[in-house]
């Protein structure tokens, strides 16, 4: 994942720290700060994040970091926003199972990447006790699910799946067993595991397991 860079917020801008788009000056500061924050999360965890230390590590002024993000939670929220924006787009193969397999492989590669996997573990752990981090994490996954949901809707249109199938639930069903291994069992996250997750989700979807009940749209 590549990061871009920063600009300070406009004077008097009422927007919440960590949510303002880069602008004005170049985006280099934002890139450096987000990269430093991600590295620190991956290496040391959420509770070691300190804005002054992130500024030192990114080689930018402390005032800029405090003005731009305000809090550690604001910085993590912006990091997750950037990660969602930089994530790879979905694959379109014309086959539900192949599309879901591509999604499963993307999740697997992310979670097994030394830096990305450690970063996600730190953010997920932080989200259990920090409401703003949890909200940012939820937004991140909403963006990723929305990116892949069209492959399910297209499968419905092709007649591969029953009408009323909840596309978001199918996408979540692909990644759920991979995250379970990642966070709880410690079992290998290998291509075979990704394949099983994709095939299981596709089979359940074809059987109507994800069809929305009346009144639950």
211 phi and psi angles, rounded to 5 deg: -75, 130
Spans in the chain with pLDDT lower than 70: 1-26, 88, 215-217
- Distance of alpha carbon 76 from alpha carbon 179, whole angstroms: 20
Q: What is the pLDDT of residue 84?
A: 77
Q: What is the pLDDT of residue 170?
A: 98
Q: How many CB atoms lie within 10 A of CB 116?
A: 16
Supply the pTM of this predicted model.
0.77
Burial 132-156 (b: 16+ CB within 10 A, else e): bbbebbeebeeebbebbbebbebbb
50 phi and psi angles, rounded to 5 deg: -140, 125
Contact by Cβ (8 Å): 170, 205:
yes
- Residue 197's alpha-carbon distances to 19, 90, 110, 142, in angstroms, are 34, 17, 15, 20
Q: What is the pLDDT of residue 215?
A: 62
Q: What is the pLDDT of residue 204?
A: 98
Contact by Cβ (8 Å): 54, 65:
yes
Q: Which residue has the tokens 């620190």?
A: 40
Q: What is the pLDDT of residue 99?
A: 95
Q: Residue 74: left (phi > 0), alpha (psi -120 to 50), or beta?
A: alpha
- Distance of alpha carbon 61 from alpha carbon 65, whole angstroms: 7
Contact by Cβ (8 Å): 56, 34:
no
Q: What is the pLDDT of residue 81?
A: 83
């Amino acid at each position: 994942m590549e990061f871009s860079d920063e600009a300070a917020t406009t004077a008097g801008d009422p927007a919440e720290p960590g949510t303002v788009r880069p602008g004005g000056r170049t985006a280099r500061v934002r890139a450096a700060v987000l990269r430093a924050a991600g590295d620190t999360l991956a290496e040391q965890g959420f509770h070691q994040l300190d804005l002054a230390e992130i500024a030192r590590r990114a080689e930018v002024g402390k005032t800029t970091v405090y003005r731009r993000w305000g809090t550690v939670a604001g910085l993590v929220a912006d990091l997750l926003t950037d990660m969602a924006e930089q994530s790879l787009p979905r694959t379109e193969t014309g086959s539900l199972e192949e599309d879901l397999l591509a999604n499963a492989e993307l999740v697997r590669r992310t979670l097994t990447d030394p830096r990305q996997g450690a970063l996600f573990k730190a953010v997920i752990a932080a989200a259990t006790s920090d409401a703003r981090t949890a909200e940012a994490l939820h937004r991140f996954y909403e963006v990723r699910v929305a990116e892949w949901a069209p492959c399910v809707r297209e499968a419905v249109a092709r007649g591969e799946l029953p009408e009323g199938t909840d596309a978001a639930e199918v996408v979540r069903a692909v990644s759920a067993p991979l995250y379970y291994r990642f966070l709880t069992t410690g079992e290998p996250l290998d291509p075979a595991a990704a394949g099983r997750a994709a095939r299981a989700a596709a089979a359940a979807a074809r059987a109507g397991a994800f069809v929305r009940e009346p009144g639950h749209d």
